[in-house]
Amino acid sequence: MIVGSGKFRYEVAEGWEKLPKGWRHGDVTNVVTDSQDRVYVFNRSEHPVIVLDRDGHFLGSWGEGVFTRAHAISITRGGFMYCTDDKDHTVRKFTTDGKLLQTIGTRGKPSDTGYVDAGPTSLASIKRGGGPFNRPTRVAEAPNGDLYISDGYGNAQVHRFTAAGELIKSWGEPGDRPGQFNLPHSVWVHTDGRVFVCDRENDRIQIFGPSGDYLGVWTNVARPADLYIDRENHVYVGELELKAGDLTMAGRPITRTCPSQVSIRDLEGNLLASWGVPDPFAPNGFASAHGLWVDLHGDIYVGEVAETALSRVGKYRSDFPSLKKFVRI
């Protein structure tokens, strides 16, 4: 099947991933590739980081017994991996073969934001922005090597660190005004230094200067979960489902219905291509496009928290492909 449109056309690589017999990963929270086309699949199984080659063949795994709850994986220009553990309130730095180099944050000790993990509208319990971390979500590297970390399910801030892990600045508080957040779910730093933040439960992407100065916002997105900006300044966004009548995690009513999708945009947020249909089991459908990455060939990888999303409505099947690949044509 071909998806997308115009110059953004892709072939669905059905059956691409080849896991060892008996292995399954359920929720794939995020995915990245390295300079050797190896694919790192961050997931919530007993094998948190599964490594594949470009053709989907299994190369190995690491991270067993390390994570409380996998959320996102990032790779730096130097080839280091940063993994966020949102239930352990830490960010860990690894080599590509899984050697732990650094831990930022204190295990099991969230910052004080008033957050109470008490169900699907728990964001409403956040009373204030707090320091690092309360359920951090993703790491992005700036051109100068600084790290930006979105934080997250139990907080409403973005933190800027040095490459050595020293805190420089934090900004944000709960709310829906400029510079406020309802679930800063992912972050990306462009080559020009601008910081793009997926403000998921506010249905927007906010844009800031390197020091957190508010620059602008995109509001033509639905629950943006992750984004990637390529060398040609195209922005790839994973967007989650909206269902009219439900409540956001911040407790506000949802007034429209749209399926989870992948969209491709220019740097001003204008839509260039998209795909996603109401049936998550269709080749061009998604249960929950939670994390995405674009490799050096222009192919797109999408990780889905499918077990979580489909189990809520009684539709999850263990054979659901929680990692999808779209080959650019």
- Mean pLDDT value across residues 258-266: 98
| pLDDT (tens digit per residue) in 185-225 | 999 999 999 999 999 999 999 999 999 999 999 999 999 99
Structure tokens at 272: 């260039």
Residue found under tokens 């291509």: 273
**CA 108: distance to chain centroid?**
22
pLDDT per residue over 90-118, tens digit each?
999 999 999 999 999 999 999 999 999 98
User: Considering only CA atoms, which of 211, 324, 297, 224 is closest in space to residue 265?
Assistant: 224
Q: Return the pLDDT at 306.
A: 95
Neighbours of 256 (CB within 10 A): 9
Burial of 129 (0-12, 13-18, 19+ CB in 10 A): buried
Residue 161 has pLDDT above 90, yes or no: yes
State the average pLDDT for the chain.
97
Per-residue pLDDT reduced to its tens digit, 317-327: 988 999 999 99
**H-helix segments, the chain:** 306-311
pLDDT in tens, 122-147: 999 999 999 999 999 999 999 999 99
Domain extents for the chain?
2-328
- pLDDT tens column, 269-282: 999 999 999 999 99
Please, which pLDDT band fits residue 26 given cuts at 50, 70 and 90?
Answer: confident
Q: Is 195 helix (H, G, I), strand (E, B) or coil?
A: strand
Distance between CA atoms of residues 48 and 70, nearest Å = 7
Residue 6: its pLDDT value, please? Answer: 95
Task: Give 19's DSSP letter.
Answer: P
Topology adopted by domain 2-328: Neuraminidase (2.120.10)
